[in-house]
Structure 1
């Protein structure tokens, strides 16, 4: 049985906040950015219990990487540069080799590991906030946590990119 998650990026929040809920609108996860001038650490919680931290690596400058420390293990996420669509690779941890691939308009994403689709996401074209519905196909709780972490990384990457273009 699959699980449907929904992530909302509250654009007007001072520090930044993302909430991830189920299909009934009940909040399951909450991601908040700690105040920092350049590179905040984001904390992902489930029912007020910290399950992960996400921080963009400032070095090396020629690639986009994030360090993740989580309840399912530590790993890195690297974005492939010079691609028409967003492609991310997971390095290390339980999901080593996982690929997260989006479409040109950043509205759809799929998360695959060992040729198995773990989750897919669809965004809404016209909405006041960034909202994505995520269907997690794998029943394992680690897959839900991993997918949630990856969606936070994707949202942070989009936010950084839009801030840099302004």
Structure 2
């Protein structure tokens, strides 16, 4: 099992943050497309190569985010029509997210086998997540899922604050 930590900085203008291992070494770098359309986040490995891309679809009735890992689309997160509370669904071949992913407390499964666990770390400045990778072949996908869900949450928060 491998543990990784995602820590976003509060009030980060450039939308950049790192994913660290237990020894505080940088494993991945996440870079957002500040003020660009379509909104996207690139996940780069330690060598600086892009390994995942999260993109918000521009022309869509309801928000939709696509997640690509190594050039292959692995899942889509989309908002469902709902009148009272925001509801999102995740579409992926063989990949399921179970638990309370809105509060960042969930497990990632592939074909019924748990491959990763995500827990929000409370009492920290900014958003901090502990990611347990149980199947290292799925590491990049799990990191991309966490970044994508966090992106969806940030988009929802921005939309909510703009309407109030």
* Interval containing the TM-score (normalised by the shorter chain): 0.7 to 0.9
Query: TM-score, structure 1 length as denominator?
Result: 0.82
Summarize the alignment of residues 6-155 of structure 1 with structure 2, pairs less than 5 Å apart: 6-37=5-36, 39-47=38-46, 48-62=48-62, 64-71=63-70, 73-79=72-78, 81=80, 82=82, 88-91=89-92, 96-103=93-100, 106-140=103-137, 143-155=138-150
Shift of 1:13: 1.2
Could you say what the CA RMSD is over the residues aligned between the two structures, in angstroms?
Answer: 2.5
Contact 2:5 2:22 in 1 (8 A): yes
| Whole-angstrom CA distance in 1 between matches of 2:86 and 2:20 | 26
Asked whether the 8 Å contact 1:107–1:125 carries over to 2, the reply is no
Conservation of the 8 A alpha-carbon contact between 1:89 and 1:97 = no
Given the two structures, how large is their TM-score scaled by the length of structure 2? Answer: 0.83
* Residues 99 and 107 in structure 2, CA contact (< 8 A), matched pair in contact too: yes
Q: Distance in 1 between matches of 2:124 and 2:68?
A: 32
Q: Deviations over 1:26-84 (max 9, x none)?
A: 1100111123255422111001111122111133323x422233316223312463598
The unaligned stretches of length 5 or more in structure 2 are none
- Structure-2 separation of matches of 1:61 and 1:136: 35
